[in-house]
Amino acid sequence: SGQYIPKPSVVTVANAMDVGDPSNFERLLALYEGKHARILEDVSAVSFSDEQILNTIRTCYDDNGYILDPHGATAYRALVARGGEGVFLATAHPAKFGAIYERLSIKVDLPEALRQLSGRTLLSTQMPADGEVLKEYLLNGSR
C-alpha cells in the first residue's frame, strides 16, 4: 500500500522477524527518497508460518544434514519460493535456539567458545536510563 503502519510485535520461532515497528525502516525509506514504488523495484517480501519454518529446518536437515537457524530457514524458504537460485546468508548459530531443535529432535552441539562460557557468573550493573550516569560508570565506576 505504501503506507507504513507499525503493528505490535508477534512472537514467532524466527524472533529476529518479530519486529512490528522496525527501527531501520526509516533508513530504507531515506535510501529510496521516500518513494514506495522505487523500494518495490528492489525489495520484495514473503511471510511464512512457524510450521513452515520448522518444516524447512527439518527438511534441510533430513536432506542435507545441515542445521538451518530459524532466520536462515526463512531466507532459504524465500529463495526457494523465488525459483531457488541465489544466495542467502545466515549468521545466527542454531545453538541460540535450543528449544526449537528439541521440538524437532535435532541435536545441536554447543560451539566450544560458548561451552567455555557456560556456567560463568553473569556480570551486570543496574543503573538508571541516564547518559550521564552511564558515562560516569564507564569512566570511573568499573574500576
pLDDT tens digits along 111-134: 898 888 888 888 888 999 999 999
Separation of CA 104 from chain center: 19
Please identify which residue in the block is written with the cell numbers 511464512.
48
The number of residues in the chain equals: 143
Q: Which residue has the higher pLDDT, 69 or 29?
A: 69
| pLDDT score of 46 more than 90 | no
pLDDT tens digits along 50-75: 999 999 999 999 999 999 999 999 99
How far apart CA 24 and CA 20 sit, in angstroms, is 12
Q: Could you tell me the CA-to-CA distances from 128 to 125, 131, 140, 142 in Å, in that order? A: 10, 9, 16, 16
| pLDDT score of 141 more than 70 | yes
Say what the pTM is: 0.74
How far apart CA 95 and CA 98 sit, in angstroms, is 5
